[in-house]
Structure 1
């Protein structure tokens, strides 16, 4: 029989890996979801063409992280998978339907003529619904699936925060990939989204003390709270850097700053949740599979993970630079 320390080490390793996959998904698919939401604000078909063209070679690969995340959660923490999916069946199904809408819209708009605007709206609405669904999932998990009016308000704010955060990533991506009037509009949208994201994050943070089991357990530990304060300072600096880069007409700076803001926020989320995978209900030790299963999965992900990372880095390198309009 494996020692308890070996089991605990594997549990923690998979908690970290799942957190890393979630972070990679949110950052990569977050900007193309945000971009999709912003297309709803664009009246000119030319602008929407450029925006969708900027993610045309990367959007589907971004979603592979979500597939990997679902498989990893099912194999490594089956009890958590069962609990989360049981309580979140509706938003997860809406999210999957939204991804189908987005994929169909991107493909059909290429062949469309008079109805291209319709498919653009389908793409934008699908992006918005996917972001809202993910915000609901985040809020529900943080509240430990506790019902009530206060929990409902908490979930609503997390949904708004995710939508605004994705819009921030999407707008800064457009700043990075375009020029001219569309870039100027994206700068204004990025500024508004940055403030909306920070306001939502502050409200969620304050409400966590009252609504979430995280506020009762982890945030009352002195060492944890001190670390979270440090992360909050870094997040504030990233926020200031985003605004500064936008003001100074930076090209890549706003997107880099927005990405850093998300990475720091996810570090705070991981610190807040550990050692729970469902706050107040299920720890990683209680939810984890046995050591042979986790070790076998670790061997598999050890072979696949570098390929996924390498492919993502290669495609972003290959399609770097500004978007050039396609002549029809």
Structure 2
């Protein structure tokens, strides 16, 4: 194997690993951000207590995936990291501030009395701002940071889609974790959000052909379009399964279907972007570190990744089942 082919293999491996980390972050932190956004719709304090309780044992570990993702991007693709962070300074700073708001609100609401509603709103608004910021980041990257009114509209749709998608994950998580009136409300939220999420995804997909620097070129490559069609069919089946599981009063099915919908959508996104890491601006090969750095990082991630996955699986197993309300 020649040095060039070794470098290509490492580049592709890290592109896939970062994509996997992104999916794990979006699914895990996505549902607790969605729960946070949905607290803004709940008037009863007892319902908000249950919603926060449903994510209280997992939300901080979920955000760890974003830290690892940022570190991996910095080490594996430093040129892309520099470009993305410099062009997205404002939404990234808003994202960080939103995480601080969420963390502070969760801690302070437990000891608050008359001001508890205030911290609940801080938690919900922080969750909303975090989701919007991530949607803006996604939209900006997909358009290759090209300015203009059409790009701004595209970014707005991606922001709406991310918020809606997180609400879908959050609602289906609450279906799995709660009972009674809150579970019924979560089922209604899930139905609305799955339709708005799919609608936003369709708009983004078609707009990518017009606005993304690599959309048309990549989709016309041999085999790519047929693979994307297959993924679109799977996404449609996942969408129908979410509706079916909700209709059949399933507890775990809606969340499984919503997760599959996200995973399939991200697979299609990764296929559409490759070999670019920033569409029209920078390829994976141009952004990558040297082979020695990528190889060293593989040993590091090979140690850390199984521990993180194992810990996540353990905590979800430990806190499985319906919630038992905490009495104050």
- Equivalent positions of 1:14-29 (< 5 A) are 14-29=14-29
Match of 1:179 in 2: 179
Match of 2:290 in 1: 290
Match of 2:220 in 1: 220
Q: What is the Cα deviation at residue 216 of structure 1?
A: 2.7
Q: In the alignment, does 2:235 pair up with 1:235?
A: yes
Q: What is the Cα deviation at residue 225 of structure 1?
A: 1.0
Match of 1:135 in 2: 135
Match of 2:257 in 1: 257
Match of 2:278 in 1: 278
Give the conservation status (yes or no) of the 8 Å contact 1:178–1:322: yes
Q: What is the Cα deviation at residue 214 of structure 1?
A: 2.7
SS at match of 1:217: helix
* Consecutive unaligned residues in structure 2, runs of 5 or more: none
For 2:149 and 2:252, the matched residues in 1 are separated by 41
- Report the number of matched residues: 328
SS at match of 2:277: strand
Give the conservation status (yes or no) of the 8 Å contact 1:35–1:51: yes
C-alpha offsets along residues 102-121 of structure 1, whole Å, 9 cap, x if unaligned? 00000000110111100000
- Equivalent positions of 1:185-204 (< 5 A) are 185-204=185-204
For 2:234 and 2:276, the matched residues in 1 are separated by 24
Q: What is the Cα deviation at residue 251 of structure 1?
A: 0.4
Give the conservation status (yes or no) of the 8 Å contact 1:2–1:291: no
For 2:176 and 2:201, the matched residues in 1 are separated by 25
C-alpha offsets along residues 89-144 of structure 1, whole Å, 9 cap, x if unaligned? 00000000000000000000011011110000000000000000000000000000
C-alpha offsets along residues 196-244 of structure 1, whole Å, 9 cap, x if unaligned? 0011011111111111113132112241111111000000000000000
Match of 1:162 in 2: 162
For 1:11 and 1:65, the matched residues in 2 are separated by 20
For 1:221 and 1:141, the matched residues in 2 are separated by 21
For 1:113 and 1:214, the matched residues in 2 are separated by 53
Q: In the alignment, does 2:76 pair up with 1:88?
A: no
Give the conservation status (yes or no) of the 8 Å contact 1:30–1:169: yes
Match of 1:124 in 2: 124
Match of 2:317 in 1: 317
Match of 2:97 in 1: 97
* Consecutive unaligned residues in structure 1, runs of 5 or more: none
For 1:235 and 1:108, the matched residues in 2 are separated by 40
Match of 1:58 in 2: 58
For 2:114 and 2:222, the matched residues in 1 are separated by 61
For 1:78 and 1:327, the matched residues in 2 are separated by 49
Match of 1:74 in 2: 74
Q: Using structure 1 for the length normalisation, give the TM-score.
A: 0.99
For 2:26 and 2:53, the matched residues in 1 are separated by 20
Match of 2:106 in 1: 106
For 1:223 and 1:30, the matched residues in 2 are separated by 31
**Alignment root-mean-square deviation, CA:** 0.9
For structure 1, which segment, 23-32 or 202-211, has the greater mean C-alpha deviation from structure 2 after superposition? 202-211
| Runs of 4+ deviating beyond 3 Å | none
Q: What is the Cα deviation at residue 253 of structure 1?
A: 0.3
C-alpha offsets along residues 52-74 of structure 1, whole Å, 9 cap, x if unaligned? 00000000000000000000000
Q: What is the Cα deviation at residue 2 of structure 1?
A: 6.6
